[in-house]
Amino acid sequence: MKKILTGLKPTGDLTLGNYIGAISQMVKLQDEYESFVFVADLHALTTYQNPDELRQRIRKFIAMYIACGIDPKKNTIYIQSENEYLGNISYLLECSTTYGEASRMIQFKEKSKQNANFSVGLLTYPILMASDILYCDTDLVPVGIDQKQHVELARNIAERFNNKYGYTFKLPEPFINSNGQKINDLKYPDKKMSKSEENPNGVISLFDSVEDVKSKIKKATTDSLNNIHYDKENQPGISNLLNIASILDNASIEELENRFKGKGYGEFKSYVADVVGNFIEKIQAKYNEIINSKELDEILDAGIKKSRELAREKYELMKERMGLIR
Ligand code: AMP
């Protein structure tokens, strides 16, 4: 069975965009692949995180993954920082990465411009990501376009290491899911819905109350055309709402367009608000059952045990290949 791996960075609350673009895709793929799902908490540290908030968010992410349908029986679920071998593997991989290629990463170039006091971690985190991907011989890494370059870097580092020291790593492939929908901000529907957005009115957090979710949808930016029609260019707000409802209510866009033909935006928004509200209510009920449970710790214990064993084996093999043995 081929392996697939995904980690989300706990730098803000999980959003409806994360659910539709990443988590729901992982749920679909879990039957076909051996899946590894983790919280990329070390990656969050490239910028300062309040320790108390970070600790709580890490656990919330795991509970929310499971509430959204990531099945602990089908996935290895773990917290990245609990696997101490990943940092060690990362250092060995850094020594097979040139400064030039690390500093050419687009995210590094953009983010280092935004903050003159950027950390060295901002430069090296794609190599830690290579370690996340390579330690367990992942075949596929589902990513958004913005992370594709980092998977390619992992592949290049693996290939270079294999050439220098002998075959050690399977070469991973980025997996850009063409069905993966991009969900946009409710207030600025030309922009991606993002967990780091400052204006919370445009972003649906999976932890929002049902009332807040409904109110945000009712206040979503639309247009003055008064036509419920999918047209991303001229009606980005309505198209975004159609997209969201179509995915969560399992109805085609066309079906929804027909259902709301000649009807007003108020009625359509009430419908979308109910669909998203019901979804949030359902996942939060499951989330509340597990967030403080012993079962959650058992899932994490089993996940990290397996992850650590695989990482230890890979680390030992790398050391042996590199001459780091007595
Ligand atoms: P991020 O929250 O940007 O770190 O992204 C984590 C994962 O969620 C990536 O796989 C993204 O492609 C996905 N994702 C984040 N925001 C959205 C969005 N608004 N629409 C669709 N997918 C998203």
Look at 143 and 222; give whichever has higher pLDDT: 222
Ligand 1 center from residue 101 Cα (angstroms): 25
Q: Helix, strand or coil for residue 260?
A: coil
pLDDT: which is higher, 25 or 220? 220
Structure-block tokens of residue 157: 């580092």
More confident residue, 181 or 130: 130
Q: What pTM was computed for the model?
A: 0.93
pLDDT of residue 178: 58
Domains of the chain, first to last = 3-176+293-322 (3.40.50.620), 200-288 (1.10.240.10)
Coil, strand, or helix at residue 184? strand
Per-residue model confidence as pLDDT tens digits over 224-270: 999 999 999 999 999 999 999 999 999 999 999 999 999 999 999 99
Q: Whose CA is nearest to atom 18 of ligand 1?
A: 17
- Report the distance separating Cα 239 and Cα 184, nearest Å: 10
- Whole-angstrom Cα distance, residue 126 to residue 62? 22
Ligand 1 geometric centre to CA of 208 (Å) = 18
Alpha carbon distance 267, 262 (integer Å): 11
What per-residue confidence (pLDDT) applies to 158?
98
* Residue 142 alpha carbon, nearest atom of ligand 1: 10
pLDDT of the residue at 56: 97
The pLDDT of residue 182: 86
For the stretch 209-222, pLDDT in tens is 999 999 999 999 99
Return the percent helix, strand and coil in the chain, to nearest 5: 55, 10, 35
Read off the tokens for 160.
């270079």
What pLDDT was estimated at residue 291? 98
Backbone phi, psi, residue 255, to 5°: -60, -45
Q: Is the dihedral of CA 257, 260, 266, 272 positive or negative?
A: negative
Query: Is any atom of ligand 1 closer than 6 Å to the C-beta of 193?
Result: yes
Strand runs labelled E in 40-131 = 75-79
Give residue 18 CA to ligand 1 midpoint distance, Å: 5
pLDDT digits (tens, 9 = 90+) for 267-323: 999 999 999 999 999 999 999 999 999 999 999 999 999 999 999 999 999 999 999
Q: Maximum Cα–Cα distance for the chain, whole Å?
A: 78
Q: Of ligand 1's atoms, which has the minimum distance to the CA of residue 196?
A: 2
Is the CB of 17 within 6 Å of ligand 1? Answer: yes
Catalytic residue IDs? 111, 192, 195
Tens digits of residue pLDDT in 54-102: 999 999 999 999 999 999 999 999 999 999 999 999 999 999 999 999 9
Amino acid 144: pLDDT: 76
Residue 183 Cβ < 6 Å to ligand 1: yes
List the helix and strand counts (H, then E) for the chain: 14, 5
Q: Which atom of ligand 1 is nearest to the CA of 21?
A: 22
The verdict on the CB of residue 129 being under 6 Å from ligand 1 is no
Amino acid at the residue 139: D
77 phi and psi angles, rounded to 5 deg: -110, 125
Give residue 25 CA to ligand 1 midpoint distance, Å: 11
Indicate the pLDDT class of residue 180, thresholds 50, 70 and 90. low
Pairwise CA distance, residues 216 & 270, whole Å:
11
The stretch 205-212 carries a mean pLDDT of: 98
- Residue 179 pLDDT exceeds 60: no
Ligand 1 close to Cβ of residue 8 (< 6 A): yes
Q: SS3 of 292, please? A: coil
Q: Is residue 135's pLDDT more than 80?
A: yes
User: Quick check: CB of 195 below 6 Å from ligand 1?
Assistant: yes
Average pLDDT value for residue range 137-147: 88
Any idea how long the chain is? 326
Burial 190-220 (b: 16+ CB within 10 A, else e): eeebbbebeeeebbbbbbbebebbbebbeeb
Residue of 4, 18, 247 to test ligand 1 pocket, by largest number of atoms within 8 Å of CB: 18
